Structure 1
Amino acid sequence: MCKLYCQDADDRQDLYQEIVLQLWRAYPRYEPHAKISTWLYRVALNVAISDLRQRTRKPIADRLGTNLPDLALPPDSGPDADDLAQLYRAIERLSEVEKAFVLLYLEERTYEEIADILGITQNNVRVKMHRVQEKLRQLLTHLV
Structure 2
Amino acid sequence: MKKELEHEFVSHLEKHQNIVHKICRMYTNDQESHNDLFQEITIQLWNAYPKFRGDSKFSTWMYRVALNTAITLYRKSKKQLRTQNYDEVSFKIKADVYDDEVEKQLQLMYKAVKELNDIDKALVFLYLEDQSYREISEMLGISEVNARVKMNRIKKTLRNILNP
TM-score under structure 2 normalisation?
A: 0.68
Match of residue 141 from structure 1 = 163
CA distance in 2 between counterparts of 1:10 and 1:89 reads: 18
- Percentage identity across paired residues of the two chains: 44
Alignment equivalent of 2:143, drawn from 114, 121, 137: 121
The answer to whether the 8 A contact 1:38-1:116 is kept is: no
Say if 1:33 and 1:55 are closer, same or farther in 2 by CA, change over 3 A: same
CA distance in 2 between counterparts of 1:18 and 1:138 reads: 34
Q: Which moved more, 1:89-98 or 1:28-37?
A: 28-37
Shift of 1:87: 2.2
Shift of 1:28: 2.2
Amino acid at match of 2:162: L
Amino acid at match of 1:113: E
CA distance in 1 between counterparts of 2:57 and 2:143 reads: 17
Unaligned runs of 5+ in 1: 59-74
1:98-133 deviations in Å (ceiling 9; x for gaps): 111111111111111111111112111101111111
Match of residue 48 from structure 2 = 26
Superposed CA RMSD: 2.2
Q: Which runs of at least 4 in structure 1 moved beyond 4 Å after TM superposition?
A: 75-78
TM-score under structure 1 normalisation?
A: 0.76
Match of residue 48 from structure 1 = 70
Match of residue 60 from structure 2 = 38
- Counting only pairs closer than 5 Å after superposition, residues 85-100 of structure 1 correspond to structure 2 as 85-100=107-122
Alignment equivalent of 1:5, drawn from 11, 18, 27: 27
Q: Which moved more, 1:49-58 or 1:104-113?
A: 49-58
Match of residue 110 from structure 1 = 132
Secondary structure of the residue aligned to 1:22 is helix
